[in-house]
Amino acid sequence: MALPKLNTPTYNLNIPSNGKEINYRPYLVREEKILMIAMESDNMIQVENALLEIIKSCVTGIDVNELTRFDSEYVFSKLRAKSVGETAKVAIKCEECDHSNEVVVNIDSVSVTDIPSTKIELSDTTGIIMKFPSMKDYKEIQKLKADNNIDALFNVIISSIESIYQGEDLFHASSHTRTELNDFVDSLNSAQFKLIQNFITNMPQAYINLNFKCEECGHEHDTELKGMANFFG
């Protein structure tokens, strides 16, 4: 006789970047093992890959590789809340006395910072419709932040162009070669290019509001905890 199987509840949420509704289930022991092994490695790339693998296993209705980083942070936080519990303990240093405080955060209260318009006006008649970089673009963004790598910046910009418009004409990026898109970006002036660069380098982030009093000096903190690595200590 086969062993019994337990029913797993399902939930739904809306993806922050596009509002699309998806269904998800809590992660199970087999998926938690993947995360534990990755966290033991102390390698953030392995941890990122493990998180994406878990999201892929637990979520239906999306291509995980097309999620933005802030989408994946938000989705995994919701997954974690339903799988392990809605709270986590994190160590946070007091901004006044530098004492390390153990603070309980509500993971399920995760939000996303303001999401900017994807429309960038380059002139009175011409502009670009961007899309937020996906997780597969994230490594290029990390290169950009690490060493101001210009090739990484161009790669992310080209990959993030949804379409270009001029007057009533709309030119979809998917209908043009990468060389054509690169030539278009090369033709921009410095001010126009800066608008696109700012869009890429100032992505929204998942965050949790945090209020606590330092147990050492009594200083009151009213701040935001940003980024998934900080949510879990």
Residue 29 belongs to domain spanning: 11-112+205-231
46 and 131 together in one domain: no
**Full-model pTM:** 0.83
The predicted structure's pLDDT at residue 39? 81
Residue 2 lies in a domain: no
Would you say residue 5 lies in a domain?
no
Same domain, 140 and 30: no
**91 in helix, strand or coil?**
strand
Coil, strand, or helix at residue 131? Answer: coil
Together in a domain, 105 and 91: yes
Strand locations in 74-185, DSSP E?
87-93, 100-106, 111-112, 119-121, 126-130, 161-166, 169-172
pLDDT digit of tens for each residue in the chain (233 aa)?
888 888 889 999 999 998 999 999 999 999 989 888 988 887 777 887 888 899 999 999 888 888 898 999 999 999 999 998 899 888 899 999 999 999 999 999 999 999 999 999 999 999 999 999 887 777 666 655 556 667 777 888 999 999 999 999 999 999 999 999 999 999 999 999 999 999 988 889 999 998 999 999 999 999 888 876 666 65
What distances in angstroms separate CA 122 from CA 7, 128, 188, 196, one per listed residue? 53, 7, 9, 9
| Per-residue tokens: 126 | 């011409």
Q: How many CA atoms does the CB half-sphere of 201 hold within 13 Å?
A: 16
Residues 126 and 197 in one domain: yes
For 35, what's the count of Cα atoms within 13 Å in the CB-facing half-sphere? Answer: 19
Together in a domain, 183 and 128: yes
Q: Let me know if residue 54 belongs to a domain.
A: yes
Give yes or no: residues 66 and 173 share one domain. no
